[in-house]
Amino acid sequence: MTTNWQTQLVSAFTDFQTLCDYLQLSPNDLNLSSDAAKQFPLRVPLAFASRIEKGNPLDPLLRQILPIGDELKTYAGFSDDPVGDLNAVKQTGVLHKYHGRVLLINTGACAIHCRYCFRRNFPYADLQLSKQQESDVIQAIQNDTSIQEVILSGGDPLILNDARLARLFEALAEISTLKRIRIHTRLPIVLPDRVTDELLELLKHCPKKIIVVVHCNHANEIDTDVAQACQRLKSVGVTLLNQSVLLQGVNDDATALCDLSERLFDVGVLPYYLHFLDKANGTGHFQVSEKEALALLTVVQNRLSGYLVPKLVTEQAGELSKQTLKLSVL
Ligand SMILES: *Cc1c(COP(=O)(O)O)cnc(C)c1O
Ligand code: SF4
């Protein structure tokens, strides 16, 4: 019998030994670090762990979730708040950085803890918007007619239950100047059972255009359950995009990037962004140099149809948009 997504969330792996036993790995081969796990705990649901190859310490999905000693090293240029969001978010739960779009942080919680995450050093539990704050935010969006798109981010907004989301969507539906609601979430990938019938109903009946940006870094993250979850989202008219992060030892390889784009398109998702790593403390070992990244993207561009090539972007404090890194034309 299948269990519901919330039960799966609660029973996610959170300790080394249980996970290692499940993956048929010896903790001694993995450079595990309990100090790294103290900073940002291990958390991975079974649905995601089941796609990690058993007995392979170098598996690209494993590398995304395993707290290792490398996280304790310091790297030049890395900090706790690399994109300068923390103060802005903490005060209001809203980030209004870019024209026409506003980003809401409704929850700081996530279903999985990705070791490369730039929010790994955020005080997660503090980021929750209270009910009162949420209605203030809705009011502020209503008052600013330049806002055409609301972006739900986090944490992971789909960690909120369907009733809570329904309330939020109802309020947003009332704002006539708002055209689109965009959801940035890793849940359809990490825990595909999150795409419940109730969620689909809610999205289907929302009068705004809905965009779901899934966060997937490697083709192996997409199994038949994920494919089905994407199909279900598509069936109610949602536009599906993907953003990934370029990660050393995970997808810093032209074939891995091409396979990812192909696999995404197979399940109805268009590649959108390939992000450079945000320089958050504890993530330096994932860094890929700009030169290497551009070389990789050149190969990808030469192999794939244009619409399968993601935009390579970085986020820089104070800019009016994310910065696209272009291949130089000789
Ligand atoms: C990335 C980001 C957005 C969305 O940017 P797009 O380029 O439209 O995807 C909006 N607000 C903030 C604060 C962001 O960091
Ligand atoms: S799901 Fe997103 S926000 Fe959460 S830990 Fe992973 S990368 Fe960070």
90 within some domain: yes
201 within some domain: yes
Average pLDDT, the chain: 93
Looking at ligand 2, which atom is closest to the CA of residue 190?
1
Query: 203 with 109, same domain?
Result: yes
315 within some domain: yes
Q: Spell out the long-range contacts of 122-126 with Cβ–Cβ below 8 A and sequence spacing 24 or more.
A: 122/81, 122/86, 123/90, 124/155, 126/90
Residue 116 CA, ligand 2 centroid: distance in Å: 8
Write out pLDDT tens, residues 121-153. Answer: 776 556 667 788 888 999 999 999 999 999 999
Query: 137 with 19, same domain?
Result: no
Residue 54 CA, ligand 1 centroid: distance in Å: 37
152 within some domain: yes
pLDDT at 90 over 70: no
Q: 18, 44, 72 — which closes off a domain?
A: 72
79 within some domain: no
Query: 37 with 91, same domain?
Result: no
129 within some domain: yes
Query: 248 with 282, same domain?
Result: yes
The enclosing domain of 274 has a CATH number of 3.20.20.70
Query: 136 with 283, same domain?
Result: yes
78 within some domain: no
CB atoms within 10 A of CB 14: 13
Query: 46 with 150, same domain?
Result: no
Label residue 330 by pLDDT band (50, 70, 90): very low
Write out pLDDT tens, residues 182-194. Answer: 999 999 999 999 9
Query: 219 with 167, same domain?
Result: yes
Domain residues for 32? Answer: 5-72
Does the CB atom of residue 156 touch ligand 2 within 6 A? yes
Q: What ligand is nearest to the CA atom of residue 109?
A: 2
Query: 31 with 162, same domain?
Result: no
82-86, 99-103, 196-200, 219-223: least confident range: 82-86
Write out pLDDT tens, residues 30-56. Answer: 999 999 999 999 999 999 999 999 999
Angle subtended at Cα 243 by Cα 242 and Cα 244, rounded to the nearest 5 degrees: 125
Q: What ligand is nearest to the CA atom of residue 103?
A: 1
Burial class (CB in 10 A: 0-12, 13-18, 19+), 1: exposed
pLDDT at 278 over 60: yes
Residue 102 CA, ligand 2 centroid: distance in Å: 19
Q: 16, 38, 72 — which closes off a domain?
A: 72
Residue 40 CA, ligand 2 centroid: distance in Å: 11
| pTM, 2 dp | 0.96
Q: What is the pLDDT of residue 129?
A: 76
State which of 48, 89, 117, 273 you would mutate to test the pocket of ligand 2, scoring each by most atoms of that ligand within 8 A of its C-beta.
117
Query: 64 with 106, same domain?
Result: no
Number of domains in the chain: 2
Query: 51 with 192, same domain?
Result: no
77 within some domain: no
Q: What ligand is nearest to the CA atom of residue 247?
A: 2
Residue 137 CA, ligand 2 centroid: distance in Å: 23
